[in-house]
Amino acid sequence: MIGIAGLSKARGGALVLDDVCVQAGERAVTAIVGPSGGGKSTLLRCLNGLEVFDAGEVTIAGHRMLPGPHPPRLLEQVRRDVGMVFQQFNLFPHLSVLENVALGPRVVARMPLAEAHGMAEAQLARVGMAAFVAARPATLSGGQQQRVAIARALALAPRVMLFDEPTSALDPAMSAEVMETIVELARGGQTMVVVTHDHAFARRAATQVVELIAGRITRTGPPAEILGA
């Protein structure tokens, strides 16, 4: 499902990713761990084309991306099949919770309004946010916002989900509620890549852990092996 081969990227003359190779099968949950500034988020953003890279290649959900700028058509196809959840949620503040989740199906999948709303309601129910369809994002707690963001990413039924430090901006209580949502998804068989500092989470949910330090993979293996018991 995911193949990263010899991926390198330089920024301002320095290598931020250096010959990175990762393989992950269907239903795999890959946790990327390591110190801040090690290139974790950059690697994740290369997987859906938010960043370009200089060498190597990425195969994801059946799409192949090569170094340099990607053709717009390819990007749209990759992003339909690969959902992403950001550290800062990035919900659209001018839209209600329901409209946030329905926007993707409406605009990208050209779903009729009623159908898109139905789909959005189902996704919100899945993350326990069905009661908040009419709310504005600004009125929700951080944890609730992140769950809406997860529902938004799920609305297009992506084959792979990317999580970029999904709990770093949250306090422990809210962090736990978001974590549960992601663990539930993993149990449901969703293929995902999660950048995280939270080793307890990685131990619970991940099928493999990749440690990235200064742009290089230092260790890869099962959670128990990399993170200890």
Partner 1 sequence: MKSQQLLPLLLISWWMVVAAAPTPAAELDAVAARGELVWAADQEGGGPHVFPDPDAPQRLTGFEVELAELIAAELGVKARFQQGQWDRLPLLLGHPADCVINGIELLPERRRDYHCSRPYFAYGLQLLARRDGPLDTVETLTAPGPAGRWRVGVLTGSAAEAFLRSHPEFEVDVIGYDGTIDSLEQVKSGVLDAALMDDCIFNFYADRFAGLRAVGRPFAGGYYTVLTARDTPRLSAAIDEALGRIIADGRLKTLYDRWDLGGRQQILALRDAAEIPVATRRSLRELAVETLPLLLSAAGMTVLLACLSFPLAILAGLGVALGRLYGPAWLRPLLTACVEVVRGTPLMLQLYAIFFLLPQVGLALPALVAAVAGLALNYAAYESEIYRAGLKAVPLGQFEAALALGMTKWQALRHVVVPQAVRLVMPPVTNDFIALFKDTSVCSVITVIELTKRYSVLALSTGRIVELAVITAILYLAMSWPLSLLSRRFETRQEQRA
Q: Does 139 bind partner 1 (CB under 8 A)?
A: no
**Residue 131 to residue 43: CA distance in whole angstroms:** 35
End-to-end CA distance of the chain: 28
Of 57, 67, 80, 203, which lies in the binding site for partner 1, with binding defined by CB under 8 A? 80
- Which residue lies nearer to partner 1 by CB, 8 or 90? 90
Of 9, 40, 63, 79, which lies in the binding site for partner 1, with binding defined by CB under 8 A? 79
Min dist CB 117 to partner 1, Å, is 16
Q: Does 70 bind partner 1 (CB under 8 A)?
A: no
Of 156, 179, 209, 212, which lies in the binding site for partner 1, with binding defined by CB under 8 A? 156
User: 80: part of which helix (H) or strand (E)?
Assistant: helix 72-81
Which structure tokens are listed for 194?
Answer: 């999660």
Q: Does 69 bind partner 1 (CB under 8 A)?
A: no
Of 39, 56, 83, 215, which lies in the binding site for partner 1, with binding defined by CB under 8 A? 83
CA distances from 85 to 88, 134, 161, 164, 221 (A): 9, 21, 8, 6, 24
**Residue 41 to residue 26: CA distance in whole angstroms:** 21
Q: Does 215 bind partner 1 (CB under 8 A)?
A: no
Point out which span in 18-26, 72-80, 125-133, 176-184 binds partner 1 (CB under 8 A): 72-80
Return the C-alpha torsion angle 186, 187, 189, 193, nearest 10.
10
Q: Does 90 bind partner 1 (CB under 8 A)?
A: yes
Of 11, 26, 35, 107, which lies in the binding site for partner 1, with binding defined by CB under 8 A? 107
Q: Does 108 bind partner 1 (CB under 8 A)?
A: yes
Q: Does 94 bind partner 1 (CB under 8 A)?
A: yes
Among 183, 160, 149, 215, residue whose Cα is nearest residue 48: 160
Min dist CB 211 to partner 1, Å, is 25
Provide the strand spans (E) within the chain: 2-11, 14-24, 29-33, 55-60, 63-65, 82-85, 160-164, 191-195, 208-213, 216-221
Q: Does 225 bind partner 1 (CB under 8 A)?
A: no
Q: Does 135 bind partner 1 (CB under 8 A)?
A: no
Q: Does 55 bind partner 1 (CB under 8 A)?
A: no
Provide the strand spans (E) within 44-167: 55-60, 63-65, 82-85, 160-164
The residues binding partner 1 (CB under 8 A) are 48, 50, 72, 75-77, 79-80, 83-84, 86, 88, 90-94, 103-104, 107-108, 138, 149, 152-153, 156
